[in-house]
């Protein structure tokens, strides 16, 4: 994942209204508690000898061509349709469709930036999934980050029947917490482990372990009568991981031997050369900073970065400090991770934020949300002196253990400046290695491509520049240029006996979550909000007699947020200009509709001449 802060706006999470994408949510559904279902059969991991034997059995008599799966059924198609994740880092969602069977791979969201004023969350348009819900056999989730799970509550509320969701224990734990916030009680959560293989209609999905910045991350190998698709999920090749789980090279090699007709791979760090550093390097740096800190230490990180949280806890305990957890999502995820055994810290080393009185500042490490500068996050409230229990003093140490998500740079800088003004000693990635990415760099991506040997390749999970950089890496490792597909959301790829080629596009786009409204906010509304914020607002009204063709009273004008709008001379000049225009066109027989446009255009032209601004302007003509 592009590690998006798991701390979404809680106001947008409950009671989302009665409609989604204009469809009324169904009533009278069967309600029951969320239940976990464990797979009855676990796929045993192969020993080296067994794996070699199996590979020998699967090899055809002639030498296999690069990534050629062979044995495809004629007339059968497998459609791969990305609905999100190809225009930005976020809202990842991909449909796999074969005949009457459909599988959804991930269901993420994206957080808004300055171009989306008033918006809480951005979802992919999954109308295609709803239109084909009768085919939906299951939803498979690669890991628990918001950009891979955040759309699930909204999708689930709009489905007629509870579709099974497959994920690892950690992933399902986070999904269960999310569903509880949305009051969803009819979910069917099915736990899988790396090595498990499940049948979803004519599509089989085999899960394999990958290393990422959250425990329980997996990639998926899809097999079907029309061909095989490998989806790496989000990954890096950290060989000294915190939890000991490395990316499964053996599985990748086995898939390559079986034949990968199409590979989908994480492109986030495709433009970054070399290898991504190990997470352990961050732990060493954090320990050194905490050891020499004089006052309290406050560390902001992603609430879903369990490995980072473990290292913070370990460093704090080693330096003789207690750990305080604050921030709604940080508290929630800490509880889930401890309950599931992914985060290990003794109760004696945890202190409630309301019990800090009497504990010296030099004995405290605060673990909080706010690494992206969110206005309502714990770190922002601490920096602004608005936190209920935690204060910051001159000489305290603050560590921002994350990289700003594109679009959040200004917000993070604002928080850093507030902290610096207080006198805090602030560390970020530019000053020390307090953060490393959870995504593979270019050399790691090339290594995985070389192992899997795909016949065709589609880069996913990134902006356009990332996708093109990853496509170039694939070509360097031997994938023919004609077999590399840089797609847009909604475009489809079709696998059949002839190979991989473009198919028909489906409806795609974004849906905005705005308070209790889901899907009702349009781009036009956002454009108006941007105009209001940047240029201001003007409203004028006039009463006219259409029978007597005259203006009955002086024009009324209000202006807000306009440079010079409070100048009485500008306002008087604008009123005079509008009145003159109305009188002139009344004499020419103008209609009320024409007068409305004429008065508005006259006002905007004058304001542009005087202020060089074009505010949002509304004109009202009252006919008497």
* Interatomic CA distance for residues 247 and 360, integer angstroms: 42
> Pairing relation of β-strands 164-167 and 493-496?
unpaired
* Span of 57-61, 221-225, 457-461, 574-578 with lowest mean pLDDT: 57-61
Which has the closest alpha carbon to 141: 94, 98, 178, 81? Answer: 94
Which has the closest alpha carbon to 139: 56, 203, 225, 62? Answer: 203
% of residues, the chain, pLDDT over 70: 83
In the predicted structure, residue 296 carries a pLDDT above the cut 50: yes
421 Cα distance to chain centroid = 32
Same domain, 584 and 616: yes
* Residue 28 domain flag: no
Same domain, 110 and 184: yes
What's the longest Cα–Cα distance across the chain?
99
* Residue 25 domain flag: no
Same domain, 553 and 513: no
Specify the pLDDT at position 566. 62
Domain end marker among 427, 454, 471? 427
What is the pTM for the complete model shown? 0.77
Same domain, 166 and 226: yes
C-beta neighbour count of 10 within 10 angstroms: 12
* Interatomic CA distance for residues 52 and 353, integer angstroms: 55
* Residue 184 domain flag: yes
Report yes or no: 458 and 262 within 8 Å, Cβ to Cβ: yes
DSSP 473-505: HHHHTT--GGGB----TT--EEEETTEEEE---
- State the total domains in the chain: 3
Same domain, 536 and 513: no
Which has the closest alpha carbon to 208: 197, 200, 219? Answer: 219
Specify the pLDDT at position 40. 47
Report yes or no: 100 and 132 within 8 Å, Cβ to Cβ: no
* Residue 236 domain flag: yes
Same domain, 580 and 556: yes
First to last CA, the chain: 61
Same domain, 221 and 158: yes
Range of the structural domain that residue 225 is part of: 76-274+438-518
Mean of pLDDT values over 415-434: 94
Residue 420: C-alpha distances to residues 373, 381, 414, 417, 426 (Å)? 14, 15, 10, 5, 7
How wide is the angle at C-alpha 532 spanned by C-alphas 531 and 538, nearest 5°?
Answer: 110
Same domain, 355 and 468: no
* Interatomic CA distance for residues 108 and 153, integer angstroms: 10
Judge residue 263's burial from the number of C-beta atoms within 10 Å of its C-beta, 0-12 exposed, 13-18 middle, 19 or more buried.
Answer: buried
CATH code: domain of residue 411? 3.40.50.10710
In the predicted structure, residue 570 carries a pLDDT above the cut 90: no
| Predicted confidence band of residue 6 (pLDDT cuts 50, 70, 90) | very low
Same domain, 229 and 291: no
Average pLDDT taken over every residue of the chain: 84
Specify the pLDDT at position 527. 58
Domain end marker among 469, 490, 518? 518
Mean of pLDDT values over 295-314: 95
Mean of pLDDT values over 260-289: 95
Same domain, 457 and 414: no
Same domain, 484 and 571: no
* Residue 47 domain flag: no
* Residue 167 domain flag: yes
* Residue 484 domain flag: yes
For residue 270, give every residue at least 6 positions away whose Cβ sits within 8 Å of its Cβ, in sequence order, or none.
442, 445, 459, 462, 466, 467, 469, 470, 473
Same domain, 86 and 139: yes
CA trace torsion 334, 336, 340, 341 (10° rounding): 0
- Token pair of 364 as six digits: 């405290």
CATH code: domain of residue 577? 3.10.20.580
Report yes or no: 217 and 420 within 8 Å, Cβ to Cβ: no
For residue 605, give every residue at least 6 positions away whose Cβ sits within 8 Å of its Cβ, in sequence order, or none.
none
* Residue 56 domain flag: no
Summarised one tens digit per residue, pLDDT across range 385-402 is 999 999 999 999 999 999
CATH code: domain of residue 488? 3.60.15.10
Domain end marker among 518, 549, 580? 518
Specify the pLDDT at position 200. 97
* Span of 124-128, 299-303, 569-573 with lowest mean pLDDT: 569-573
- Token pair of 608 as six digits: 């542009």
- Token pair of 133 as six digits: 């819900």
């Amino acid at each position: 994942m592009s590690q998006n802060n798991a701390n979404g706006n809680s106001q947008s999470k409950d009671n989302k209204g009665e409609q989604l994408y204009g469809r009324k949510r169904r009533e009278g559904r069967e309600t029951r508690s969320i239940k976990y279902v464990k797979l009855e059969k676990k796929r045993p991991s192969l020993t080296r000898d067994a794996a070699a034997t199996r590979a020998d059995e699967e090899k055809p008599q002639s030498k296999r061509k690069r990534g050629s799966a062979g044995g495809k059924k004629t007339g059968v198609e497998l459609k791969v349709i990305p609905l999100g994740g190809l225009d930005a880092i976020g809202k990842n969602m991909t449909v796999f469709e074969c005949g009457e069977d459909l599988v959804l791979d991930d269901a993420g969201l994206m957080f808004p930036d300055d171009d989306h004023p008033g918006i809480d969350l951005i979802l992919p348009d999954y109308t295609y999934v709803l239109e084909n819900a009768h085919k939906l056999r299951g939803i498979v989730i690669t890991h628990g980050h918001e950009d891979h799970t955040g759309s699930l509550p909204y999708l689930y509320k709009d489905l007629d029947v509870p579709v099974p969701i497959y994920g690892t224990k950690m992933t399902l734990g986070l999904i269960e917490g999310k569903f509880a916030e949305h009051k969803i009680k009819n979910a069917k959560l099915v736990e899988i482990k790396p090595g498990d293989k499940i049948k979803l209609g004519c599509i089989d999905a085999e899960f394999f372990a990958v290393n990422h910045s959250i425990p329980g991350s997996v990639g998926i190998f899809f097999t079907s009568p029309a061909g095989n698709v490998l989806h790496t999920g989000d990954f890096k090749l950290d060989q000294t991981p915190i939890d000991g789980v490395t990316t499964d090279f053996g599985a990748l090699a086995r898939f390559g031997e079986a034949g990968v007709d199409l590979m989908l791979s994480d492109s986030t760090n495709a433009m970054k050369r070399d290898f991504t550093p190990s997470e352990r390097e961050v732990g060493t740096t954090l320990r050194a900073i905490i050891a020499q800190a004089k006052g309290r230490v406050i560390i902001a990180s992603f609430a879903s970065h369990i490995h980072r949280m473990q290292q913070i806890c370990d460093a704090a305990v080693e330096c003789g400090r207690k750990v305080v957890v604050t921030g709604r999502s940080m508290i929630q995820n800490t509880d889930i991770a401890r309950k599931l055994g992914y985060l290990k810290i003794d109760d004696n080393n945890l202190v409630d934020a309301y019990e800090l009185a009497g504990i010296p500042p030099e004995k405290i490490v605060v673990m909080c949300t706010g690494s992206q500068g969110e206005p309502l996050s714990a770190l922002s409230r601490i920096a602004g002196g608005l936190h209920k229990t935690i204060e910051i003093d001159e000489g305290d140490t603050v560590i921002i253990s994350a990289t700003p998500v594109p679009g959040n740079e200004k917000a993070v800088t604002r928080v850093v400046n507030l902290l610096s003004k207080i006198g805090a000693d602030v560390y970020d990635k530019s000053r020390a290695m307090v953060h490393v990415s959870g995504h593979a760099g270019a050399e790691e991506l090339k290594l995985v491509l070389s192992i899997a040997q795909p016949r065709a390749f589609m880069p996913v999970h990134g902006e356009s520049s990332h996708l093109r950089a990853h496509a170039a890496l694939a070509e360097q490792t031997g994938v023919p240029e004609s077999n590399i597909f840089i797609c847009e959301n909604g475009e489809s790829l079709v696998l059949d006996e002839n190979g991989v080629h473009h198919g028909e596009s489906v409806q795609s786009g974004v849906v905005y979550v705005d308070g209790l409204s889901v899907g009702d906010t349009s781009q036009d509304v956002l454009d108006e909000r941007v105009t209001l914020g940047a240029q201001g607002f003007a409203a004028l009204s006039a009463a006219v007699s259409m029978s007597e063709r005259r203006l009955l009273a002086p024009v009324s004008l209000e202006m807000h947020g306009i440079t010079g709008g409070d100048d009485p001379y500008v306002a008087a000049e604008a009123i005079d200009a509008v009145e003159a225009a109305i009188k002139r066109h009344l004499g020419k027989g103008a209609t009320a509709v024409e007068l409305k446009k004429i008065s508005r255009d006259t006002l905007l032209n004058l304001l542009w001449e005087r202020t060089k601004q074009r505010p949002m302007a509304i004109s009202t003509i009252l006919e008497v």
